Structure formats: structure tokens, C-alpha cells
Amino acid sequence: VTPDPYILKLDGITVDFDGFKAIDNFSMTLERGQLRVLIGPNGAGKSTLCDTIIGRVQSAAGTVTFNGADITNLPEFEIVRRGICRKFQTPGVLPSLTVRDNLLVSARRDRRWWKGLGHGAKREEAEKVEALLDKIGLTERAETFARDLAHGEKQWLEIGMVVATGAELLLLDEPTAGMGPNETSKTAKLIHSLLGDHAVLVIDHDMAFVEELGAKVTVMHQGKFLKQGSVADVRADPEVAAVYLGR
Ligand code: ADP
Ligand code: MG
């Protein structure tokens, strides 16, 4: 049997807010360990789609399949337990803990740790945290309280926290919000370093960042699937250009 290449399958997702279809029969797939960028004008339904995947918003129709299992409308804690983690637009770090302790707290939520919390687990945990500090470029800031970090550093810490949970699928909603070009570029490199071990769905509308990520792009408009392809493909597409006019 060939293993299912898809970590995530969305099939006909529909979200209805009192008669307003925020998501309308939306389908897409994401392969294991791969990166996908979801773009679309403001109000397209991107954040709502993330809410639906993670179980915070109910889908009125269609299915969400994760790792071959139907997870449609399961409670959020159950979906998180199965290995999906979401980073919100605003950083959700714990301000009065150090950078290292923020990662440690998240690592303790890693479902794989519950099995082996005995001798050695602590050391393994610490090694994992040090490796993550290095990955997110905050080793020198390990002892800094999260509240004292610069905006970009907070965003990287939060990506680190999402990774520390051990999730296989990371949903990053506008990870570069409020960042300058340098920080944006660092964020793209960080996301690339996570692939393989993690599949990542990034939502963003900063085209310079999308360009730098260089991944397959899915375009959403008024809750519907509009287009999918390389950055160059979607950029050259007249329909995509049309929905972005007036922004
Ligand atoms: P995006 O993230 O692409 O900018 P959103 O998913 O935030 O778009 O919103 C999609 C649409 O759904 C918008 O028109 C928004 O106003 C609407 N919306 C989002 N959340 C709710 C809600 N809880 N109740 C009613 N309408 C909502
Ligand atoms: Mg949004």
C-alpha cells in the first residue's frame, strides 16, 4: 500500500455565518512536509479557513481529512492533540516567562512526551529546546523575558512554540505582520528550515514574502477557490489580478 501523500485534504468546506457564506465549497490538498501559501484579498475567508481546520469554527458541509482521518468539526483540543497547531496574527507568547521557558512550556504539550516522561525525558526536552532556540535565531535571547523582545523576535518565538508542540501541520496566519524586509526574509528562511519534518500552511498577502517563500500558491476569493500554481503563474493570472484591484 502506498502511504497517503497528503497530510491535509479539504473537500467542499462551507462555513455559513447566519446566511453569509464566508467559505463556499472550498477544496484543496497539502502534501506531507510541504509548504503552501494561501493568499486572497482581505475578507476572502483565509483566517476562517484556518479556524475551520483547527475546529474553532464549524463547517456546514464538506470534510477535513488530516493524516487520513476525518477530523471535521472535532473539538479544537482533539485536533491539536492529533498534530495541528495554529499561530495567530498577533503573537501569543507568555510575556513574563523567558524565551527558553516559553519553548519549554510548549514542548511539554508535545503529545509524544506524555508516553515517556521519566528518566532522560528532561534532558531530551532541554536538548530539543536548545535546538529550537538555534533554529529560530534566539539563542542569545534565551534568558530574555518574552515581553522585552522586539516584534519580529516575538513572532519567531511563537513559530518556535508552535514547532515545540510537535505538530505535524503548522498553520501560520500572517507570520510577517508588522515586520520590515529584513525580518520578513529571516522568517521565510525559518519556515523553509521546518519543511520535511512539518507541513506548513502560510497565510499572507505580502507578495514580496510570498515571492521569497517560492512555494505553490492557492488563491482564495469570497470564500471560494480561485486559482492555484507557482507565484509566477498566479501573478500573471488576469482573474487573480482582477480580485486584487482596488486594494
Ligand atoms: P481573511 O482572513 O481572508 O481576511 P476572514 O476569514 O477573517 O478573511 O473573514 C472572511 C469573511 O467572514 C469576512 O467577510 C468577515 O467579515 C467574515 N467573518 C469572519 N468571522 C466572522 C464571524 N465570526 N461572524 C460573522 N462573520 C465573520
Ligand atoms: Mg485574516
Residue from 20, 26, 46, 48 whose mutation best tests the ligand 1 pocket (most atoms within 8 A of CB): 48
Q: How confident is the model at residue 90 (pLDDT cuts 50, 70, 90)?
A: low
Is the CB of residue 35 below 6 angstroms from any atom belonging to ligand 1? no
Whether 53 lines ligand 1, by a CB cut-off of 6 Å, is: no
pLDDT at position 207, please?
86
Does 38 contact ligand 1 (Cβ within 6 A)?
A: no
Ligand 1 nearest-atom number relative to CA 51: 6
Identify the band that residue 196 occupies on the pLDDT scale cut at 50, 70 and 90.
very high
C-alpha distances (whole Å) from 181 to each of 177, 184, 188 are 11, 5, 11
pLDDT value at position 91?
A: 63
Amino acid at 194: L
Is residue 242 pLDDT above 80, yes or no?
yes
Task: Give me the number of domains the chain comprises.
Answer: 1
12 is a domain residue: yes
**Number of helices and strands (H, E) in the chain?**
9, 10
From CA 124, how far away is CA 140, in angstroms rounded? 21
In this predicted structure, what is the pLDDT of residue 121? 58
User: Measured on CA atoms in the order 156, 158, 161, 162, is the torsion positive or negative?
Assistant: negative
Nearest C-alpha to atom 21 of ligand 1 is from which residue? 17
CA 45 / ligand 1 centre spacing (Å): 6
* Nearest residue to 85 via CA among 54, 128, 112, 108: 54
User: What number is the average pLDDT over the span 120-135?
Assistant: 86
Whole-angstrom distance, CA of residue 129 vs CA of residue 161: 10
For the question of whether the overall pTM of this predicted structure is more than 0.90, the answer is: yes
The enclosing domain of 161 has a CATH number of 3.40.50.300
Atom number, ligand 1, closest to the C-alpha of residue 45:
6
- Cβ of residue 22 lying under 6 Å from some atom of ligand 1: yes
Task: Flag whether 144 is in a domain.
Answer: yes
Task: Tell me whether residue 164 is in a domain.
Answer: yes
Whose grid coordinates read 521546518?
194
**DSSP sequence for 196-245:** TTBEEEEE---HHHHHHH--EEEEEETTEEEEEE-HHHHHH-HHHHHHHT
**Bridge partners (DSSP) listed for residue 135:** none
Residue 73 lies in a domain: yes
Residue 202 in domain: yes
Examine the pLDDT at 112 and tell me if it is beyond 80.
Answer: no
Question: How many angstroms separate the alpha carbon of residue 235 from the centre of ligand 1?
Answer: 24
What are the tens digits of pLDDT across the range 51-67? 999 999 999 999 999 99
Q: What is the mean pLDDT of residues 196-209?
A: 93
Question: Is residue 92 situated within a structural domain?
Answer: yes
What pLDDT is recorded for position 4? Answer: 83
Rounded distance between C-alpha atoms, residue 75 and residue 227, angstroms = 30
Cell of 24: 463556499
Q: Does the ipTM exceed 0.95? A: yes
Question: 198, 33 in Cβ contact below 8 A?
Answer: yes
Spatial CA neighbour of 206 closest among 234, 181, 232: 181
> Average pLDDT in the 23-33 region?
97
Query: In whole angstroms, what is the distance from residue 9 CA to residue 187 CA?
Result: 26
Q: Is the Cβ atom of 87 under 6 angstroms away from ligand 1?
A: no
Task: State yes or no: pLDDT of 74 exceeds 90.
Answer: yes
Mean pLDDT of the chain: 91
Read off the pLDDT band of 125 (50, 70, 90). confident
pLDDT band at 129 (very low <50, low <70, confident <90, very high): very high
CB-based contact 53:64 (threshold 8 Å): yes
Question: How close is the Cα of 107 to the center of ligand 2, in Å?
Answer: 27
Q: Which three cell numbers stand for residue 23?
A: 467559505
- The domain in which residue 74 lies consists of 6-244
The per-residue pLDDT for range 147-162, each reduced to its tens digit, is 999 999 999 999 999 9
Mean pLDDT of 16-44: 96
**pLDDT tens per residue, range 222-237:** 999 999 999 999 999 9
- CB of 52 shorter than 6 A to ligand 1: no
Identity (one letter) of the amino acid at 241? Answer: A
Please tell me the distance between residue 173's alpha carbon and the centre of ligand 2 in angstroms: 7
In a domain, 1, yes or no: no
Strands 224-229 and 169-173: unpaired
Q: With contact defined as beta carbons under 8 Å apart, do 204 and 211 qualify?
A: no
115 pLDDT higher than 50? no
Residue 177 maps to a domain = yes
42 within ligand 1 shell (Cβ under 6 A): yes
Q: What percent of the chain has pLDDT over 70?
A: 91
Give the number of other Cβ atoms within 10 Å of residue 239's Cβ. Answer: 12
Nearest listed ligand to the Cα of residue 222: 1
